């Protein structure tokens, strides 16, 4: 069934877009058209921004308890549609349905509960000498999201922005936009004031760039590639906007010589291949001591052999397709490039998997003897490709881990927790897990270097949506 969404959500109502252009949404498993959405234009962007601008004065001064009650209603409305959200995203992105409910639907909705719990603890005034420093809601926020975790990225931004008193214009990725329409329906059901949340769909050119350069947008909050982040940063400079950019990664999983190899490899492979490797925080570089390289390779091969590729709606599938033909071709290009550069293939390869004659599938692929200067060790592949890289000692491992332009995430493994922590502190990344710790949605999320600017989630994510003002008393 093809889902037809022919309206935008602007100023508290569904309305036809200004233009007549449309975009097709393709299913990841077989490439079939599963949706049709508007390709809006700059006029639609103007209307949405104006609605958000008009709504801001009243919304920013609405008592906190009333804003948080509406956030609670939004969470309730979305939770009632968890199964629909999970299946929609599975069809769009290819995440296996066995994990989609948890990662793509339930976890994003829980972020709203986190904001509701944390915001009352946040002090918005402090006395410094003769001044009172206050935090005020920033204004109109353009929320521009990627396709790999579409609901998480919308709710992570919108939930924080609305809770703090900002108003929003959301531009979801045109590759996986359908869950954003469900969010808009839930916003409407929850009873938010008109103009507080606006949804405008389209491409980077038709909607994204007009939003970024719009003079009445006060902040641009983006999840995307580092290349896209550079472009957005350049455009936003024209009007000196606040930016929050969560961009690419090339995260290192450092397995020290005293680590529990079996556990480190098990968790490391699963981390790298979650969502078919289409995760910005994926540990795509596995750093191992020279003396344990062969042992690690055998453990990795055994883990990779357990992956079953197929229809992501089949509960037996534990690795689905990539999101698009373009992404499939890109990842296969990286694999061929690694072979050309002399990396040693341990598993997988660029060919279509035997068990999947159609769909945007790529074999789970592993290379070893990957050197730091190789392309596959430097660039974000965004697919199921793992690079095993040998190191000499702790200092060498840290040097290799820090040898890219990225700094989003990473992991360190050692039976000596203090040693692991010393290594983790020297890795220049925004989030480093020690011995396979779980993701903490209340901790700040974001990157060093070209992995981004600013933080998302938790108290630190909420603080991004405020402006500081000093009241000076005589």
Q: What amino acid positions are annotated as catalytic residues?
A: 246, 280
Query: Which H helix or E strand runs over 136?
Result: strand 131-137
Using DSSP bridges, classify how beta strands 33-38 and 125-128 pair: parallel, antiparallel or unpaired. Answer: unpaired
Strand order in the sheet with 409-413: 344-347, 365-368, 385-391, 285-289, 252-255, 409-413, 431-434
**Cα gap 363→349, rounded to integer Å:** 6
Convert 332-365 to b/e letters by CB count within 10 Å (16 or more is b): bebbebbeeeebeebbbebebbeebeebbbbbbb
Range list of β-strands (E), 145-230:
167-171, 197-199, 219-223
Distance CA 112, CA 156 (A): 8
SS3 135: strand
Element holding 387 (H helix, E strand): strand 385-391
462: left (phi over 0), alpha (psi -120 to 50) or beta: alpha
Q: Given phi > 0 = left and psi -120 to 50 = alpha, else beta, which region is 27?
A: beta
Given a contact cutoff of 8 angstroms between Cβ atoms, the answer to whether 311 and 342 are in contact is no
Q: What span, in angstroms and rounded, lies between the C-alpha atoms of 215 and 171?
A: 17
CA angle in degrees (0–180, nearest 5) for 436-438-439: 125
* DSSP secondary structure letters along 244-304: EEE-----EEEE-TTS-HHHHHHHHHHHHHGGGG--TT---EEEEEGGGHHHHHHHHHHHH
Cβ-based neighbours of 335, under 8 Å, separated by 6 or more:
348, 349, 350, 362, 365, 385
> Whats the size of the chain, residue-wise?
474
DSSP code, position 120: G
Instruction: Annotate 351-365 with DSSP letters as a single string.
Output: SPPTT-SSSS----E
**Sign of CA pseudo-dihedral 272, 274, 276, 282:** negative
């Amino acid at each position: 069934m093809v889902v037809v969404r022919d309206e935008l959500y602007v100023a508290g109502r569904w309305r036809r877009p200004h233009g007549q252009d449309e975009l097709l949404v393709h299913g990841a498993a077989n490439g079939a058209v599963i949706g049709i959405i508007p390709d809006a234009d700059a006029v639609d962007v103007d209307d949405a921004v104006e609605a958000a601008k008009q709504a801001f004065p009243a919304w920013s001064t609405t008592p906190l308890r009333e804003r948080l009650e509406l956030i609670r209603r939004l969470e309730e409305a979305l939770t009632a549609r968890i199964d629909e959200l999970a299946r929609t995203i599975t069809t769009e992105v290819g995440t296996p349905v066995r994990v989609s409910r948890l990662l793509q639907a339930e976890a994003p909705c829980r972020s709203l509960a986190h904001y509701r719990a944390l915001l009352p603890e946040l002090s918005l005034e402090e006395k410094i000498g003769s001044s009172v420093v206050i935090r005020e809601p920033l204004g109109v926020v353009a929320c521009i999201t990627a396709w790999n975790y579409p609901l998480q990225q919308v709710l992570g931004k919108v939930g924080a922005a609305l809770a703090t008193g900002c108003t929003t214009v959301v531009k979801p990725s045109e590759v996986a936009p359908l869950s954003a329409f469900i969010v808009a329906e839930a916003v409407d059901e929850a009873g938010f004031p008109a103009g507080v949340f606006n949804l405008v769909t389209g491409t980077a050119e038709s909607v994204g760039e007009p939003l970024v350069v719009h003079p009445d947008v006060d902040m641009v909050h983006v999840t995307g590639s580092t290349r896209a982040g550079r472009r957005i940063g350049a455009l936003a400079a024209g009007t000196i906007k606040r930016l929050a950019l969560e961009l690419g990664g090339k995260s290192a999983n450092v397995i020290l010589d005293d680590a529990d190899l079996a556990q480190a490899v098990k968790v490391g492979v699963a981390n790298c291949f979650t969502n078919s490797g289409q995760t910005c925080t994926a540990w795509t570089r596995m750093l191992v001591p020279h003396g344990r390289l062969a042992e690690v390779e055998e453990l990795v091969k055994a883990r990779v052999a357990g992956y079953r590729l197929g229809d992501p709606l089949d509960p037996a599938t534990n690795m689905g397709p990539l999101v698009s033909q373009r992404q499939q071709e890109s990842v296969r290009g990286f694999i061929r490039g690694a072979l050309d550069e002399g990396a040693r293939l341990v598993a997988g390869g660029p060919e279509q998997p035997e068990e999947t004659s159609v769909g945007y599938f790529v074999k789970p692929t592993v290379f070893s003897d990957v050197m730091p200067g190789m392309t596959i060790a430097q660039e974000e592949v965004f697919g199921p490709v793992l690079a095993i890289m040998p190191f000499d000692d702790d200092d060498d491992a840290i040097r290799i881990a820090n040898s890219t332009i990225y700094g989003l995430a990473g992991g360190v493994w050692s039976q000596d927790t203090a040693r692991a922590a010393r290594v983790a502190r020297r890795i220049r990344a925004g989030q480093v897990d020690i011995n396979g710790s779980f993701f903490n949605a209340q901790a700040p999320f974001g990157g060093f270097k070209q992995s981004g600017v600013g933080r998302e989630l938790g108290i630190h994510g909420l603080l991004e949506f405020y402006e500081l003002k000093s009241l000076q008393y005589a």
